Amino acid sequence: MGRVDGKVAFVTGAARGQGRSHALRLAQEGADIIAVDIAEQIDSVPYGMSTPADLEETVRQVEALDRRIVATKADVRDFAAVKGALDDGVAQLGRLDIVSANAGIFSFGTLEELDDTTWNDMLGVNLTGVWHTVKAAIPHLKAAGGGSVVLTSSVAGLKGSPNIGHYVSAKHGVVGLMRTLALELAPDRIRVNSVHPTTVNTDMIQNDAAYELFAPDLPAEQRTRETLGERFAAINGLAIPWVEPVDISNAVLWLASDEARYVTGVTLPIDAGSMLK
């Protein structure tokens, strides 16, 4: 008996990285999946974003677990597209119990230098996209008689960090959204919590642009996974450079499961102690 047996989970940003990991972990424990991903580039994002082939790979891996999945290309900034994909998924899979609002992007610049497009893309995806995801899901969760919504924030949702002010602002906004939703949805037994990862070992971090942000003092040829690992380790309490996507998935799974049936309104760091430093 899986820990989320018979439930249906909606995961945004599911083509790769944390989103794919969440889809697989929930499917391993018995859930069917409704997946969306933008599966194309946003011009202000300085690394290669996911592709339709990535989303197809998520589908293949979920189906290999003998679970069903309905996957659609959709941009969380477009409410009609998110709602269309989710409504279609619920129509096919019959219900909705779990929401993982995971889709997110990363880009860089001081607040003095950021241009409007970079700012608006960030707020559009990482904050408004989360609101859109939940807004589309609420009617289905209410119809199911309860549920669990997990919003992906960040350690940057709980403390400041230079050169990513738009990211910090969006991820802090997710905490305000989570706390308000938890109060609004409690009468319907819908729980809402946020997860706050430290650096996660995904394509969003393992790229030249991110390396330059975290090691501007090193010449480009010295910005390797190993030298960056030391930089990333310095922000953690535990002596590790980053956590793996499955560590976030395990937290999402616990919050999604009935074991956390009375946990709501909580900011849960998976941060190797970085908040303490």
175 binds other proteins (CB under 8 A): no
Residue 33 parent element (H or E): strand 32-37
CA–CA separation, 233 vs 160, rounded Å? 18
Residue 29 binds other proteins (CB under 8 A): no
- Neighbour-count burial of 267, counting CB atoms closer than 10 A to its CB (0-12 exposed, 13-18 middle, 19+ buried): middle
Given candidates 48, 187, 216, 219, which one binds other proteins under the rule CB under 8 A?
A: 187
Does the annotation mark 47 as catalytic?
A: no
Does position 53 interact with other proteins (CB under 8 A)? The reply is: no
DSSP 15: T
Residue 46 found at the interface with other proteins (CB under 8 A): no
Interacting residues with other proteins between 189 and 218 (CB under 8 A): 189, 191, 198
Q: How far is the CB of 58 from other proteins (least distance, A)?
A: 21
Instruction: Determine if 254 is a binding residue for other proteins (CB under 8 A).
Output: yes
- The identity of residue 75, as a single letter, is D
Phi, psi torsion values for 272, nearest 5 degrees: 50, 30
Roughly how many angstroms between the first and final C-alpha of the chain, as a whole number? Answer: 40
Dig out the tokens for 272 from the structure.
């190797």
Give 111 or 238: the residue with its C-beta nearer to other proteins.
238
Q: Provide the annotated active-site residues.
A: 167
The residues of the shown chain that bind other proteins, judged by CB under 8 A, are 179, 182-183, 186-187, 189, 191, 198, 237-240, 243, 247, 250-251, 253-254, 259-266, 268-273, 275-277
